[in-house]
Structure 1
């Protein structure tokens, strides 16, 4: 992967594949650019696909102190490297970050968002002390427990599902990137759809959810699409918090090239 330099001097690892209009893919919590390994080949015949490791993950650098503004600058650096403007696709907490970047004036031509992380009524928010709990677990280097806590309190996964996750190959990545859960939690703010702020955003935005996702994720996607003046929602085949890759690829390719 090549490196671009963000405004604060942090190096951000990125890679480009394909030919055509640029689209930047941005991951959510826990993950790095490899989460898009199956999606990139679906897009590359139609678009120039740019993937990158968000700061603190994979081959990217980090800084001693975190701020959402620094991650916005990271995305701006990747887009500048991609030619100065691009479509952005982001999922989960990455979708929240993409919205913040668009609101900050990063040159995003179109947004495609997969199930942004918001909690709408009647779905409960994470505990009020969730950030303090995460900080305490990570200060004790209890990375696995921090990951479990986030999956339970933020995603609402059952103990049985979390136990299955622990047996999967990706669990090592979850633990390696557990410190970045503080970053994603900072991005989420009060967990509510920022309706008034989104009402000022004129960037065309496609908000996606899968037909088998959780109720709170579906409701968050619909509320986000409604809040955006140039937003519209679309439900696609998939599973919990995941859209079938071949279908997602076709939709994003069409969204980027038309």
Structure 2
């Protein structure tokens, strides 16, 4: 394990593997290096890239020096880019895609950007996230009800059906999910403004002018597909790609070749 210090003193734990241009993978809600999709994806990409996976602040082996702000997470990515030599490609999944988008908007050291299914709710195929969603989440966590907070996220944030949420405590990963439940408000701050069932604001990410690939699964819910189509339409330099047969739980073997081709072709172009 390696560490890099962020601007506010937070120690960020990361893993580096492979050879080639630097590529940083950003996890979504409740995920970190020991529990999430980016470690298997990194293994697929390592033959062509120097791939960095890391524990977002407050998760896994990373600490958190002070109060949370989106700017602090962007500074964490900036510190990793510095460790990688001063520039890097960036990829994010789910709410990690929202974070990667913020980083690309603010950091000129991001060379290219790929995003998989940021959880933006822009139309009516599912209910928007409720106005009291964040307040309820904060109350549950303040009361020490981590399991209830995870269920609240899955039911009201992700939109899973009630029966699926009810059986989650029987899953092997339940303990790991509860262990990082306190970071759910971080992901809420990254996504809540774009989960109201309204079109994404034009110009919101005008700073993210690097070549960008927006990807969604062909079997993902309609609201996720609509959000990604909307996002590709408001970004300055974005292409859109659908992965046939994939869902929000995308298979690394299906995604890795698409990412590798994008980064390599855009570099040649």
What is the TM-score normalised by the length of structure 2?
0.91
Alignment of 1:1-258 (within 5 A): 1-34=1-34, 35=36, 36-122=38-124, 123-191=126-194, 193-258=200-265
Contact residue 53 and residue 60 of structure 1 kept, 8 A: yes
How many residue pairs end up in the alignment? 258
Q: Distance in 2 between matches of 1:103 and 1:194?
A: 14
Matched position secondary structure for 1:118: coil
1:232 CA displacement: 1.0
More displaced stretch, 185-194 vs 143-152: 185-194
Q: Distance in 2 between matches of 1:194 and 1:253?
A: 30
Q: Distance in 1 between matches of 2:169 and 2:108?
A: 37
1:33 CA displacement: 2.2
Matched position secondary structure for 2:204: helix
Matched position secondary structure for 1:33: coil
Q: Distance in 2 between matches of 1:208 and 1:71?
A: 23
RMSD between aligned residues: 1.4
1:119 CA displacement: 1.2
1:164 CA displacement: 3.8
Matched position secondary structure for 1:37: helix
Q: Which residues of structure 1 form unaligned runs of 5+?
A: none
Contact residue 47 and residue 257 of structure 1 kept, 8 A: no
1:238 CA displacement: 4.2
Q: Distance in 2 between matches of 1:31 and 1:82?
A: 22
Q: Distance in 1 between matches of 2:17 and 2:42?
A: 8
Contact residue 26 and residue 33 of structure 1 kept, 8 A: no
More displaced stretch, 5-14 vs 186-195: 186-195
Contact residue 105 and residue 206 of structure 2 kept, 8 A: no
1:159 CA displacement: 1.7
Q: Distance in 1 between matches of 2:47 and 2:104?
A: 27
Matched position secondary structure for 1:233: strand
